[in-house]
Amino acid sequence: MKKIMGYSSAWSVMPGDSLDVMVSTYGPDRYRASLVRVICGNDDPDFDVYREEEVAASFAGEYPGREQITISGSYVTIPSSPLVTGMGSFTIQAWVFPTTPEKGAQGLISNWDAASASGFALMIDDNGAAAMRLGDGRGATVEASTGKPLAKRRWHLVSAAYDAAAGTVCISQDFIGPQFEASTSASATLAVGFTPAMGSTQPLLMAGMPATHPAGRPAASHVFNGKLDRPRLVGRALSLADSAALGWDAAPHERETSVIAAWDFAREIGSTTIADASPNGLHGRAVNLPSRAVKGFNWSGREQNWRAAPQEYGAIHFHDDDLYDAEWDPDFTYEIPKDLRSGVYAVRLVAEDDEWYVTFYVRPSRGTTTAKVAFLASTATYMAYSNIQWTWHEHFGEVAECYWTTMQPGEVFLQEHPEYGLSTYDNHSDGSGVRYASRLRPVHQVGPKTAPVWNINNDSHILGWFEAKGIAYDVITDEDLHREGVALLEPYSAVVTGAHPEYYTTPMWDGLKTYLARGGRMAYLGGNGFIWRCAMSEAMPGVVELRRAEDGIRYRDEEPGEYYMEFNGEYGGLWRRLGTSPQALCGVGTVAVGFDVSGYYVRKEGSFDDRAAFIFEGIGDDEVIGDFGFFAGGASGTEIDAVDFALGTPPHTLVLASSEGHSAKTMIVPDEIGLNHSAMGGDQNPKVRADMTFFETPGGGAVFSVGSIAWPGSLPHNGYDNNVSRICENVLRRFVDDTPFTMPAA
Amino acid sequence: MYKIDPTRTDLVEEFYKNPSGPHSLELARVVNLLRLLPMEERIIIVCTKPHAEWTLAKMPKARGDRMEYYDDLVFDDYDAAVRKVFQIRWQAATGVDPG
């Protein structure tokens, strides 16, 4: 049903930058491109708030369409070397932890050239057994197999030795799984019958077999699901005993002079570099973001931090649905004009009766501002959610979301095209959790007119409100904050968050906290914010990494022993579990989640304090706040936050209002409870509520929080004339007034 | 484990009147059960024209598999599609078509 999709080389740009736009059509041979400024992206006709503004752009026009192919699957590539192509007798080995041995042929270590039948391929065969393929260079091949399937999710030392003198190849798999399980160890020796042709011009691939992308660039086929550790190549045929000794040897090149390569995946974790520890330096790179900093075959459990015991974290976990950069060819480049105002923009692509928005964010030139208010687009969170498919992969998806699975056309496309990759909410095809999500691919659910209304589409209710109220704003993004820290925020009188700023890197957290400490003002107009620590990488820009350690609202489990992130070595998980809770940053933190019914706010004692008078100007003492809105008819809903003074809510925080009217299916989150009990839901549990809060800071700043993802969906009600809108306007008008706030008397 | 009483046509009527809820406690249990049918047996809703048209499909068994559509079922009202899913899943769970 999808006929056109695309993505851009960046999400955050400024005047003078170049933005590459990549487009693929699926059927149509022409498409039209234009530029729009996104004002409110929610196009639900029952709500009638959608607004975009066409903007003249140099690239606008009609283009030829063609399909651009995406190939997922992570692997390692090592450039072709005469040390490999010139081999006579040799041994190739690796520790192998297959997670889908049943899925068919998968490459383990291979420079196989299928066209000429030359090189070698250490692989898992169609029966799930370790196998070695050799060819005569003229089309004839021989394949030695152990004939015994490898055990799923168990380590094996897989070795293959070609003995030129004997004309034989020996393949073996040594099981080192739990001692109470049947061994899957096996070996077999086969007469080759010809002199193998080793002159493959293909690179040496790990976790795949060499292939060519339809666009002509190198690629991989037969990609492997599972972990590899300590791949080694030796220039002689080792006996099974010698091969086993080599496999256990941490530095074989120090003792075995025939070692050609001894790759050590524990080196250069956090980068794409694959290091050869041998003197030959057959280094390479990892492609498509396999998971590094994972437990090796020798993991003892005595250490949980890969940096403290890198020798036990020498494995890489590869997945056939890993994807970093789709690497489509650009269709056109947009030079961001000097006079383009800051805002949320999209390249609108139209092919026949289908359309697609490539959304991006234009900030002012570095070091300048054009408004006193900055809208901080939650691009780290948008990335984390990109291409989420959890609800239709997970048995409990419907009862979690309180809905009947309803797939949008773009989601149908994702179901039918798993090569477009997953979100950090999903599990890989082998059942392991997804840790990386990239924006360098077409991403659904991040743009105007997307359903469900989430990410920037919900946040754009705030943009529409800015426009309706004539509040000037700049747009900046999480990636900018990550790179530039407090310097990005400091020029602004106030920062307004989106509805769901869930994922924060440490530099983002530090930047925001410092801004507030120095007198900045923040309006946190959402819920479930500042929850998970994530990481970004200079080496691999455009990606967030996430390790869902310990507890929290986890849509997938995290692998024990792998709670430390690859990109920076930080411990992952909830900020709350790190001793730095969101309550200490913004006054509130997540307490409950529910999607069937939304609640409304009623004023609390704090709202009648003189310090809060400016917030409630025009609001009646008994006025119910937000008993309307896009999200199930209320301003308090989906994911909601409340104060917790023990977790760090500043003691002078005013609780202005709290929500009521939540259903039994709006339940306390796992991080709030030690055990499940019979009063989890909002119909009985008093902790299920959103708190609206306000506090001043000693530096003259202030923080206003609403603690609800549903809040922005209430802003447009009645033509943006309602008490949710009024409260926000009262707050923002005061926040852009440079008169310092004063702390209350102790 | 909870089982649906197929004679409780009152629950069917309650759902048909108000598919999006909130529902009575008994109907909420029924809805939960129908939302927990095995993935490979689930009939789901597919939007074919944003905000305008929906059909039903069988959830594919594997990632990458094509959707199996019920081409004869086209709805211009989302709640009507939800009612049909409820009807089909009720029948799958109880063996009785609630009509």
What is the H or E stretch that residue A218 is in?
strand A218-221
CA–CA min distance A31, chain B (Å): 19
Establish if B18 touches chain A: CB-CB under 8 angstroms: no
Mutate to test the interface with A, among B23, B33, B63, B86 (most CBs of A within 10 A): B63
pLDDT, residue B21, reads 87
Asked if B32 lies within 8 A of A451 by C-beta distance, the reply is no
Cα–Cα dist A393/A375, whole Å: 34
CB A569 within 8 A of CB A556: no
Q: Contact A409/B47, CB-based, under 8 Å?
A: yes
Q: Which tokens sit at A320?
A: 């056939």
Interface confidence (ipTM) of the complex: 0.98
> Which tens digit of pLDDT belongs to each residue from A342-352?
999 999 999 99
Burial class (CB in 10 A: 0-12, 13-18, 19+), A510: middle
Q: Are A349 and A4 within 8 A, CB to CB?
A: yes
Q: Are A663 and B22 an interchain contact pair (Cβ–Cβ within 8 Å)?
A: yes
Do A716 and A635 meet the contact criterion of CB atoms below 8 Å apart? Answer: no
CB A689 within 8 A of CB A627: no
Compute the distance between CA of residue A586 and CA of residue A589 in angstroms, rounded to an integer: 8
The verdict on a CB contact (< 8 Å) between A407 and B47 is yes
Within 10 Å of residue A451's Cβ, how many Cβ atoms? 20
Please name the residue of chain B whose CA is at the shortest distance from the CA of residue A320: B63
Q: At what angle do helices B78-94 and B9-17 cross, to 10 degrees?
A: 160
Helix (H) / strand (E) containing A486 = helix A486-489
Summarised one tens digit per residue, pLDDT across range B3-39 is 999 999 999 999 999 999 889 999 999 999 999 999 8
Interface with A, mutate which of B25, B35, B75 (most A CBs under 10 A): B35
Whether residue B59 and residue A392 make contact (CB cut-off 8 A), yes or no, is: yes
Pairing between strand A406-407 and B43-49?
parallel
For residue A698, the Cα-to-chain-centroid distance in whole angstroms is 36
pLDDT tier for residue B71 given thresholds of 50, 70 and 90: confident
Q: A410: which chain B residues are within 8 Å (Cβ-Cβ)?
A: none
Q: List helix spans (H) across A542-605.
A: 582-586
Q: Please judge whether B28 and A396 are an interchain contact, meaning their C-beta atoms are less than 8 angstroms apart.
A: no
Q: From 3.40.50, 3.20.20, 3.40.35, 3.30.70, which CATH number describes the A453-735 domain?
A: 3.40.50
The B residues from 32 to 91 touching A (CB cutoff 8 Å) are: 32, 35-36, 38-39, 42, 44-48, 50-51, 54, 57, 59-60, 63-67, 78, 82, 85-86
Name the minimum distance, in Å, from the CA of B50 to any CA of chain A. 8
Instruction: Select the residue from A71, A405, A411 to test the B interface by mutation, using most B Cβ atoms within 10 A.
Output: A405
pLDDT, residue A717, reads: 98
Intervals of chain A under pLDDT 50 = none
Q: Are strands A588-603 and A636-643 parallel, antiparallel or unpaired?
A: antiparallel
pLDDT at res. A429: 97
Q: Are strands A691-696 and A702-705 parallel, antiparallel or unpaired?
A: antiparallel
Please report the pLDDT score of residue A293 as a whole number: 98
SS (H, E, C) B42-80: CEEEEEEECCCEEEEEECCCCCCCCCEEEEEEEECCHHH
| Closest chain A C-alpha to B63 CA, distance in angstroms | 6
Domain ranges of chain A: 4-70+326-362, 75-318, 453-735
Q: How far is CA A670 from CA A113, A482, A553, A598, in A?
A: 51, 28, 6, 20
Copy the structure tokens of residue A111.
């420079």
Do the chains contact at B38 and A395, CB–CB below 8 Å?
A: yes
Expressed as residue numbers, the domain containing B83 is 9-94
Give how many domains chain B has, as a whole number: 1
Name the 3-class secondary structure at A614: helix
Q: How far does the CA of residue A104 sit from the closest CA of chain B (Å)?
A: 15
Determine the residue among A356, A403, A406 to mutate to test chain B binding: the one whose Cβ has the most chain B Cβ atoms within 10 Å.
A406
What class has domain A4-70+326-362? Answer: mainly beta
**Is B3 a domain residue?**
no
Nearest to A354 by CA among A225, A477, A449: A449
Query: Which pLDDT value is given to residue A647?
Result: 97
Token pair in block for residue A708: 């609800």
Task: Say which residues have a Cβ less than 8 Å from residue A717's Cβ, sequence separation at least 6.
Answer: A628, A629, A724, A725
H or E, element range at A83: helix A82-85
**What tokens appear for A539 in the block?**
């080496």
Confidence of residue B40 (pLDDT cuts 50, 70, 90): confident
B26 part of a folded domain: yes
Separation between Cα atoms, residue A455 and residue A466, nearest integer Å: 17
- The answer to whether A396 and B36 are in contact (CB under 8 A) is yes
Domain A75-318 classification at class level: mainly beta
Q: How far apart are CA A230 and CA A541, in angstroms?
A: 27
Q: Do B82 and A45 touch (CB under 8 A)?
A: no
Q: Which residues of A touch B50 (CB under 8 A)?
A: 43, 408-409, 449, 451
The phi and psi torsions of A399 (rounded to 5 degrees) equal -75, -20
Query: Which residues of chain B does A45 touch, with a Cβ-Cβ cutoff of 8 Å?
Result: 51
Q: Do A395 and B36 touch (CB under 8 A)?
A: yes
Residues of B in contact with A597 (CB under 8 A): 21-22
